[in-house]
Structure 1
């Protein structure tokens, strides 16, 4: 049971990383997913690891480089085959929102997203010709428009996105996600709830 929980979380973290700037090493025979991350997100990552027993088994963290690596799990081979074609990160050759999950998307937002004026922006290394498909599939899960731009995925209507997601995800993700709301948006949501 514990191993299954670990595998599910590892898959979600790997998909979240691939949505962002995570890349599989092309020089290793077994799949190793290297993922740059902002050190400010280290606490969230540590909580995710602790809650799901990921440390040491399948994950290495290098805080100096601001990078973690996922390795040594069969699910990574499956994801590498899905996400890559001819050494390009393409997400998938099939337009299927079922290849993603809401929790994987939320982990991606929490780990790699940056709040902009009207959106949350996630940097990505997904091939530009396939970015529209990835954005569409993300939008199907979060029920707000998602725009593909140059090396970025932009999630619009941030308050609606967050409100739609909060009841569908565990507290560890919700607590981090609400940090993307501005003070004005928080106030508006609270006032709306009290009316």
Structure 2
């Protein structure tokens, strides 16, 4: 069972597995936020301040997770397998992270949705953080539920401070993505992975710090 999402979003919390009571608490918290926003707007100033902090933290965590995955030695192998087999789940998660860091969030969501639909907790967690950052709480709750019921766990070390990681190669990743074949699928851009990405990522000395 994946670790509790609040623990990923709170650097001071410890690690553990989610219980039924904790899952119910998470669901109730999101339901309260959705109901309050729909009925009363953003609410009191202190509520809005907490909301902004939580949304900002979600984006920092998403970028940190993407950086961690792409900086690991196995990242190039995952991307290479995806170029051979577009149904490779680990490759889809890593390719989505690369697209996100290159500024192609819509493309990233396509690949994360594919991997999450196949039962990958990390992909669902990426989608949770993405929607939470944009204040889309109902969508965030959907992907949270999926991640909590996935068979695998989220291998992520939360950053110690609420600041975005420094992209060491953001321009390089952007140029690499610009060279990919792109087609429109249902009104959205679909980026095709290729072997060059695997070689280029393998040559990088880390993606972020």
TM-score with structure 1 length normalisation? Answer: 0.28
Structure with the higher strand share, 1 or 2: 1
Q: Select the structure of larger CA radius of gyration.
A: 2
